[in-house]
Amino acid sequence: MLNGQVDPQFRADVQKGLRGPRRAISARWLYDRRGSELFDEITRLPEYYPTRVETELLAKIGTELQEHIGTSGAVVEFGAGSVTKTPLLLRAVRPTAFVPIDISGDYLRAEAASLSGEFPDLLVSPVEADFTGAVALPAAIADMPKLGFFSGSTIGNFVPRSAVNLLRNMRQTLGEGAMLLIAFDRVKPLDLLIPAYDDAAGVTAAFNLNLLERINRELDGTIDISSFAHKAIWNDRESRIEMHLRAGRDMEFSAAGEDFAIKAGESIHTENSHKYDLRSARILLSAGGWTAKAEWSSDDDGFSLILAEAMPVYDAP
Ligand code: AVI
């Protein structure tokens, strides 16, 4: 909902996504207010290692990071940050300015207010925009060296083609010579991966099923949510965890003014979370115009932070 109005893009995505034959709805629609609360809960689950591991890693590499970057530039965060990770980075690199970019003004204002209190000398200048496109940064930071921050391994939620577009747009936003600190979740054994996306308390299931609640609420849907089940599947060929909503019986329902049918066992694909090894992460970065300069990994090599630079582009060889 945008100011009480249904986002027309949500309506269009749901109509197209439910028609089949391959049913899929973009993961961006998982994050309404309830979905964002549930995701917050996910980050605190014992099975969901990425948030915990990235926070530990950031705390550990602070001094080294500062040696690479120096101080006194601007940190530009893609997506409103986390209350723990962002302050860790700001304490390590002590920038002059901090620019969080997010599509949700509410999150941005809350983050800006809390950081201004915590870092009174920091110039906090939020930008309300869709960071997947190129973004105009505030004039006040135009001449400062820039460090982009893209945490959480959110790059994994984009299929490679979109991930490359995103990285290119980040390069355009930050400019040649900028640095980017970006998190990648690594390929790991399935007994760790699957529970991270299908936890014992059922929070990830509720997060996924909330998409159907949202469709019923915002698009006058008649979906029998109790007949759908959350599934987390490892797709080895694509190197990703997929979230699906699987129908437990044949169903007919309407939503967004259209009628749909789904058979028992068929599913709606709702999210991808790609997992990388360091080589493939470097290649992805390089396709997006970024050269990896330094890398830090958790002790079990399950999660990595890569510092990359937007170097002048030379065509091969
Ligand atoms: C936001 N993103 C990095 C999460 C992930 O791990 O892919 C989203 C998520 N989906 C289910 N659990 C977490």
286 CA to centre of ligand 1 in angstroms: 24
71 CA to centre of ligand 1 in angstroms: 31
Which residue owns the Cα nearest ligand 1 atom 6?
A: 273
**Atom of ligand 1 minimally distant from the CA of 154:** 3
Give the angle 118-124-127 at the CA atoms, nearest 5°.
135
pLDDT tens digits for range 128-156: 999 999 999 999 999 999 999 999 999 99
pTM: 0.96
Q: Residue 275, exposed/middle/buried by CB under 10 A (0-12, 13-18, 19+)? A: buried
pLDDT at position 84 is 86
Q: In this structure, what are the phi and psi dihedrals at residue 252, rounded to the nearest 5 degrees?
A: -125, 140
Residue span(s) of the chain under CATH 3.40.50.150 come to 49-188+276-309
To which H or E segment does residue 37 belong? Answer: helix 33-42
The total number of residues written for the chain in this structure:
317
Which residue owns the Cα nearest ligand 1 atom 7?
A: 273
Residues 119-131, buried b or exposed e (16+ Cβ, 10 A)? beebbbbbbebeb
Residue 129 DSSP code: S
pLDDT at position 3 is 61
* 275 vs 279: CA distance, rounded Å: 12
* Ligand 1 shell residues, CB under 6 Å: 42, 50, 152-154, 156-157, 197, 204, 271, 273
- Sequence-distant (6+) residues with CB within 8 A of 280 are 239
317 CA to centre of ligand 1 in angstroms: 37
**Atom of ligand 1 minimally distant from the CA of 157:** 7
Q: Which CATH architecture has domain 49-188+276-309?
A: 3-Layer(aba) Sandwich (3.40)
Which residue owns the Cα nearest ligand 1 atom 3?
A: 154
Cα→Cα distances 190→124, 156, 166, 183, 193, Å? 41, 17, 28, 20, 5
Residues of the chain with pLDDT under 70: 1-3
287 CA to centre of ligand 1 in angstroms: 23
166 CA to centre of ligand 1 in angstroms: 17
pLDDT at position 2 is 59
